[in-house]
Structure 1
Amino acid sequence: MTKTYHVTTGGKLYLAGEYAVLTPGQTALIKYIPILMEATIQANPDYQLSSDLFDYSVDLYPDKQYALIQETVSIVNDYLVKLGHTLSPFRLRISGKFEKNGKKIGIGSSGSVIILTIKAMAEFYKIHLSADLLFRLASYVLLKRGDNGSMGDLACIAYEDFIAFTSFNRQKIRELIAENELLTVLTADWGYQIRPIKVTLPCEFLVGWTGTPAISKDMIALVQASISSDFLEQTQIAVEQIEQGLKKADQELVSAGLKRAGQLLEKLHPAIYSKTLQDLVGATKNLTAIAKSSGAGGGDCGVALTFDTKSSCCLIEKWQQAGIELLWQEVLA
């Protein structure tokens, strides 16, 4: 009987630094969200790739809908051959959608699909991949596709942890990819930092979903064009305040940092804070809690930290009254 292997992966949400981290050397705080996607993989006479996002399956012949999965398989195959493995065709099925009522939730990303595919192939070929190598392979896939995201989502999903991610120069690594073979690129110094955050401050992490999509790619480009050196400098200070406060159990420092990070986003571009996101943040008034938008903004999700049980309950109730759904709740310490 053919053995079937199962792997899972989750999603992520930005606590702070989401726009600044697009600039090399800037840091963002990103929280792993274990709302899971699953993949199964087993030996098969021919390659067969399927996802419950689509109503058909493919092999490795290029298909627009499956391009991300196909390119990931191709790059991991290249890696395996360079390690001396003999390739075997397989059937890969990916299931799980980061959706609610047919609407996309911004906790997942193309990164979740890439990492899930890589993990499935590693399990199939019985090779161990460190979290860092998993991150690099996944980043390689996106960089080769011309993606210019920070890769912070990949770092968080690969490490399955709450992390501080300092971004690298993607153009420099893209040039490295163009001029060198895969193993050389994977072992080069990329210049990023990934630090898991050990939270000692007693608090809860809450995610509120507005039910509306985040702003469009075109609008994101307009927001990015508004980024100044002062915004980067002030955001970095806020991110460092939050990280240090969480590590040293300093509630005032965390609250000040999150408030600063949110205000900086508000000033960056009016598209970031929709009316519902303003309500999401405003609901923390008179509570021992602090909230801000998360990710691109304009809709989708916001995040909050609460510092006592009563505030958590009151905030959830206020969100519900404003039409905001509690998507995730987790005690951090």
Structure 2
Amino acid sequence: MIKVKAPGKLYIAGEYAVVETGYPSIIVALDQFVTVEISRSKSYGSIVSKQYREDSVYWRRRGDQMILDNRDNTFNYIISAIQLTEEYAQSLGRQMELYDLRINSDLDSPNGKKYGLGSSAAVTVATVKALCQFYNLPLTKSKLFKLSAIAHLDVQGNGSLGDIAASVYGGWIAYRSFDRSWLMAARMQEDLISLVNKPWPHLKITQLTPPDGLKLIIGWTGSPASTSHLVDKVAVQKSNQHETYTHFLAESKACLDELIDGFKNGSLSVIKEGIARNREILQHLAAFTKVPIETPILKKMCDIAVDHAAAAKSSGAGGGDCGIVVADKDTDVDSMIAHWQENGIQQLALKVHPVIDLDKE
């Protein structure tokens, strides 16, 4: 039996801008996982997951027509990962086999609420990784990222794929997204092997080392949010207010470039200033798009952290889910968490998952 795992993630900075080709972000992998086990089967194959067997299905109207939205149904990412990896395996001459796939996730709360830790990305990466081992396919981090990114994009259709990168590489990463229009065109013209082996335009993934003394603290609002739906809303507004949106992109890039330099130079003060600045930039984005990125409870979470000499902001698409705090020796963490609890905010006791060695995972 083969058993693999992929960690969840949280965005530290650069949200929304990162969906645009080449714009930077910082993401961290966390020590909560999706685990996939795979074993040969004789009569028929199975996919079993206690978390995803009763996943929600969302739909909307297009005129009188019902349109299903499968982007928040994790099971669809599992199927997409299987189909894409088997296409890759067949192109490398492997014979298809029957197998049982068992999936277990730590990335949601015990009562089934999503923390916003990238469960769809982690389950995609873990499924691709397990099947590559099962079919004995040559695998590097770059190939695992590209296979998982294609499979994930086939379902979600938008997003930066930074959560895929975090699940593949581990640790802290600086991530710049590739040109997804190029990928869509290239898939029509090139075979999967050459696509996985070649460089992707603008894609850049760099491991970062946090400075000594940096404490990452995660607060959860208890209110799940849909990343894909929030990204859709911003996409609608950016075409209506192109000049303002372009200014947002420039501000985000300048902020993230400084933040990444802060990591490279080991400057905790620069990192804290960058987190505070990125929060302001996202607040401006929320104001002109009318997208509720920093909800009242996320604002409360961040304001409490700032009152305790830390830097804080929403994480990911916002609208609920988690916020992140960058603290140092001057932060009274116990007092901050106590004030959180008084306001219905829960600390998630998560740690950064170290840089991943594919041979040991």
Q: TM-score, normalised by structure 2?
A: 0.83
Q: Is the 8 A contact 1:14 1:31 kept in 2?
A: yes
Query: Partner residue of 1:300?
Result: 321
Amino acid at match of 1:204: K
In structure 1, the residue corresponding to 2:306 is in which secondary structure? coil
Q: Is the 8 A contact 2:217 2:326 kept in 1?
A: yes
The one-character-per-residue Cα deviations of 1:55-85 (angstroms, maximum 9, x if unpaired) are 49xxxxxxx8643322321221121122222
**Structure 1 residue 171 and structure 2 residue 174: aligned?**
no
Distance 1:279 1:67, change over 3 A: closer
1:25 CA displacement: 1.1
Query: Partner residue of 2:102?
Result: 93
Query: Partner residue of 2:232?
Result: 221
1:154 CA displacement: 0.5
Query: Partner residue of 2:21?
Result: 24
Please provide the CA RMSD for this pair.
Answer: 2.2
1:312 CA displacement: 2.3
2:46 pairs, out of 37, 45, 48, with 48
- Alpha-carbon separation, structure 2, partners of 1:231 and 1:183: 37
Distance 1:119 1:272, change over 3 A: same
Query: Partner residue of 2:35?
Result: 38
Residues 1-333 of structure 1 mapped to structure 2, 5 A cutoff: 4-45=1-42, 46-55=44-53, 66-100=75-109, 101-145=111-155, 147-191=157-201, 192-214=203-225, 217-224=228-235, 225-226=237-238, 228-270=245-287, 271-308=292-329, 310-330=331-351
- Alpha-carbon separation, structure 2, partners of 1:146 and 1:277: 25
Question: Structure 1 vs Structure 2: percent identity of aligned residues?
Answer: 29
1:212 CA displacement: 0.7
- Alpha-carbon separation, structure 2, partners of 1:216 and 1:122: 28
The one-character-per-residue Cα deviations of 1:126-151 (angstroms, maximum 9, x if unpaired) are 34421111100011113334612111
Displaced runs of 4+ in structure 1, greater than 4 A? 215-219
- Alpha-carbon separation, structure 2, partners of 1:217 and 1:202: 34
The one-character-per-residue Cα deviations of 1:160-184 (angstroms, maximum 9, x if unpaired) are 2210001111011111012221112
Q: Which is worse superposed, 7-16 or 305-314? A: 305-314
- Alpha-carbon separation, structure 1, partners of 2:279 and 2:80: 37
The one-character-per-residue Cα deviations of 1:269-323 (angstroms, maximum 9, x if unpaired) are 1411111111111012342311000011121100011101752222222211221
Distance 1:8 1:239, change over 3 A: same
The one-character-per-residue Cα deviations of 1:215-273 (angstroms, maximum 9, x if unpaired) are 57444323332461111111111112222212322222112211110001111114111
Q: Is the 8 A contact 2:16 2:231 kept in 1?
A: no
1:159 CA displacement: 0.7
Q: Which runs of 5 or more structure 1 residues have no equivalent in the other structure?
A: 57-63
Aligned residue pairs: how many? Answer: 323
Distance 1:73 1:216, change over 3 A: closer
Amino acid at match of 2:123: V
Q: Is the 8 A contact 1:144 1:174 kept in 2?
A: no
The one-character-per-residue Cα deviations of 1:94-127 (angstroms, maximum 9, x if unpaired) are 1125222231110023211111111111222334
Q: Which runs of 5 or more structure 2 residues have no equivalent in the other structure?
A: 55-69, 239-243, 355-361
Amino acid at match of 2:51: L
The one-character-per-residue Cα deviations of 1:201-225 (angstroms, maximum 9, x if unpaired) are 4211111000012257444323332
Distance 1:201 1:247, change over 3 A: farther
Q: TM-score, normalised by structure 1?
A: 0.90
- Alpha-carbon separation, structure 2, partners of 1:55 and 1:302: 29
- Alpha-carbon separation, structure 2, partners of 1:223 and 1:119: 33
1:193 CA displacement: 0.2
Q: Is the 8 A contact 2:10 2:29 kept in 1?
A: yes
Q: Is the 8 A contact 2:158 2:228 kept in 1?
A: no
- Alpha-carbon separation, structure 1, partners of 2:218 and 2:139: 30
